[in-house]
Structure 1
């Protein structure tokens, strides 16, 4: 039962809302004071903190508590890309002691499994509530700190739970949709919660409000961009919903969809939409990170067709003397190229776990990435070909196998067999320490050239009457070889370095196989629709990078082009 219900009935005369709020905070504070603290909080000595107990305040920069002044506190904030917004929570006690008031039977360690609950209101309407993950914030700080500081919007690349919280509020909670052009009142409430056998929440311990100003954008800025001549594509005359694209462009112009650099739509083999943002243009080379992995799959299919590699079922022992590498195991002998293409090998590696030995960031500082990968231990609990774990280093080995096997090496072979036939002249590889093109990612191209690659797969490997990639390889690439783990990735499947998912628009499914890279970069090839869609972005390592692309696809792009 909420502690509010334990208060005796009180008869009050009508008063203004802010008086009622102040009285409620006083009652909450008095109620908390009835129970002895379980930890010793830090003393409250600074005037700025004494003056703001029970408040969430907002500032536009990182200002230390010792230097913070009342005049630094913001009453309004304009949502512009260059602006930063930080919140500071001032409390009369530590979070752990507030949790102790919720359930005095628990230990400090059990309280640390809880955290803050945040509620977001826009213009008086509750939009989003979140029980902050227990890992957000150090346990020692929960036990003693009486003030908490976190960025909500920051251009400094700060790794903070505050930024992620704000993203979830905007994308999942409807904050972006609520902040239409004009001024809106944002209110945030903070409560303590504990989570043992049941989740219990206490009363408000701090709240704050601020006017959020969404600036208007010009009509010209949101108009669908005219496709200029000499694109290299036939231009489509098909109609599409321009109002949806205007709405999309407004979201990008108002920085609700962040760091987007291009959107290209190919329908029935023709260029339907070509849009560039944030300083990008048709000739810009984009870095789509792991989108480049899929090009390794394409070259592998070509090399198998040409006979330089027998099949994807060949094993690593056919290409390497594995006993020369660290942590030799007979299990390594039977690791297939297919298991690297589907990220289902038995190497002890998982890029979604930064404690994993094969985590990709462990590879980059080493002088030889292939040696690093082949020297990894195997995980005897894995069943080859059955368990999916994202494994960048394994794709580096695929690139090395190709480099060893095809005439002239990987770079020359890829150019002659794929890029030149597609008419792709302007591109840039990244390289391994051995000066071999890095199939880990980072292959930079123009958006229209990524579209050529996507359309090649849509054509079943055929380009201008020539079969560049075997049709059977395309089919295998677009086969659901493994289900993706829902707790890490969500619904979908994995092919040969292709992802798979289905968008639902107006109750109609749109299944796509796609390349995906850090920052929200995508090449979508739709299975049953005549569509190839390219999105490039620079939201590297940002929590919003991939979710915002899903929202763009589901709410704007697909409804616009598939009327």
Structure 2
């Protein structure tokens, strides 16, 4: 009987070993002797090193972590992620595994689990999950980072307890990678694929001698005199020190206009007063301005004109009365029924899908409509602003580019700027128009002035009043609203409410126009794609800029 049991046990073990070794997809296998010697290990490097060129001399054992440090990892795995997931549930197909599972990343500090994240299916790519046995990615990439999934993971870790755990001093950082799949209502997690440790000397909270930090001397600029009003200079010095130390990252410019005069003007990270800066979606607000100017001039009757007034939509896919009756108002308030949502990666109208096409207007007009969406529901829809640009281009004399120059930029004294263009050569109203930071400030001051510049009414007060009306409530936000391609939020500073209308763009780019304060504030930044891009700007506003300049 005992011999029989031993035979059965051996058969079971053999079956299990065979099942575990049977892969569902073909991986790249063990790729080098270095890989073979480090299977199951995560190593860290201070910069990007191609896996083929890695050597043990690149491996970090200790590292000084500052706000300007970069930190990359390389995980050496015995198999690909898909094959690890297959072991968790052998009956599920590779396609199903791709939709239900991914990597699970964990970060521990001094032996305590601080953050664990099951990456959503989608990133990294299906090909990487199926084939790769070495994973090399940045956790922190201050120099060239644009918000890769691995950088986003580190950002979530820091916001979820990492910043509190990594106090200045020595710490042990441990990283672990496992596979997971989502089954029904639960997640099933596999064994370790790779793990690694790094001793850190943390220095993330620099201290400054404010006496050696100088604020820039401001020179007059066309249309803007220099203010002599007082402000809390130490607050701005501390902010400047934090930017230069990398606490606030990739900030390029800060301009404060108070009572129509230049109060603060600082530049960072290689930019100057003469730099043309890409503010991304800040440029959308310029489309609102030009729609208003065109309506005032009679080239467009009003914002309630419909798409059927400008296009023969019978030539487009998915045509319907709902599409034909879509108005400029719905596009300018991001409340149309187009099935497009830039905050939903699976949305057919997501802007990333548009950029891959040869005709952005056709892309937008061909989109299906979402009849199940509540009428007037706000959703961020860049392709709709491209349609607004095309409507302008065909409605105003000489086309959009010439009209914008004659009716907006020249009256503001703005002569040095650069449009981005659609594939059809039309100025891209989706964003990206490059101006000097100080010219963005002039644009904001135009709105603060009720549309008047140098005694001339450039945009009607009526249009600005409509623009600065709380047209749509922003879902998922606390007391924030949307107007005519402008956002609205209220800061609370020293128990004082400070309401602002603002333009916003990827990377942390903002033009703030305050309702009850004599302030226009511009922040330019290049933290494109980074999760911290917007949050750090609001922190700067709340902790440093507004307390320094509000009476």
TM range (shorter): 0.7 to 0.9
| Residue of 342, 361, 364 corresponding to 1:370 | 361
Gapped runs of 5+ residues in structure 1?
Answer: 1-32
C-alpha distance in 1, partners of 2:475/2:151? 25
Choose the corresponding residue for 2:173, options 179, 187, 201. 187
Structure 2 residue runs of 5 or longer lacking an equivalent are 1-12
Q: TM-score, normalised by structure 1?
A: 0.78
Match status 1:211 vs 2:200: yes
Partner residue, 1:406:
396
1:15-50 Cα offsets, whole Å, 9 max, x none, are xxxxxxxxxxxxxxxxxx9xx899559999988678
Deviation at 1:166, TM superposition (A): 1.9
Asked if residue 552 in structure 1 is aligned to residue 543 in structure 2, the reply is no
Does the alignment pair 1:426 with 2:412?
Answer: no
Deviation at 1:339, TM superposition (A): 0.7
Distance change >3 Å, CA 274–CA 296, structure 1 → 2: same
Tell me the TM-score normalized by structure 2. Answer: 0.79
Do structure 1's residue 540 and structure 2's residue 531 form an aligned pair?
A: no
Residues 281-308 of structure 1, C-alpha deviation per residue, up to 9 Å, x if partnerless? Answer: 1111111121111111011112212222
1:476 to 462, 466, 471: 466
Match of 2:378 in 1: 388
Aligned length: 522
Residue 6 of structure 1 corresponds to none
**Residue number among 296, 308, 312 corresponding to 1:321 in the alignment:** 312
Instruction: State the shift of 1:422 in Å.
Output: 1.9
**How far off is 1:174 after superposition?**
6.0
1:100 is displaced (CA, Å) by 12
1:75-474 to structure 2, matched below 5 A, reads 75-78=61-64, 84-88=70-74, 116=104, 118-121=106-109, 128-135=114-121, 149-154=136-141, 155-157=143-145, 160-170=148-158, 173=161, 175=163, 184-190=170-176, 206=195, 208-212=197-201, 214=203, 223-232=213-222, 233-384=224-375, 386-474=376-464
Cα distance in 2 for residues equivalent to 1:372 and 1:93? 40
Change (3 A) 1:342 1:113: same
* Structure-2 change in CA distance of 1:450 and 1:86 (3 Å): same
What is the deviation of 1:138? Answer: 7.3
Question: Take 1:464 and 1:246, find their aligned partners in 2: how far apart are those partners?
Answer: 33
1:336 Cα shift? 0.3
SS at match of 1:532: strand
Question: Which whole-Å CA distance do the structure 2 matches of 1:367 and 1:97 have between them?
Answer: 38
Bigger mean CA offset, 107-116 vs 465-474: 107-116
| Structural mapping, 1:464-543, within 5 Å | 464-486=454-476, 492-543=480-531
Q: Structure 1 residues 127 and 479 mapped into 2: Cα distance closer, same or farther (>3 Å)? A: farther
1:495-530 CA-to-partner distances (Å, cap 9, x unmatched) read 111122233445544332211112221111122322
Query: Does the 8 Å CA contact 1:127/1:174 hold for their aligned counterparts?
Result: no
In the aligned structure 1, how far is the partner of 2:495 from the partner of 2:105? 34
Which has the larger displacement, 438-447 or 222-231?
222-231
Asked if structure 2 preserves the Cα contact closer than 8 Å seen for 1:58 and 1:210, the reply is: no
**Partner SS state of residue 397, structure 2:** coil
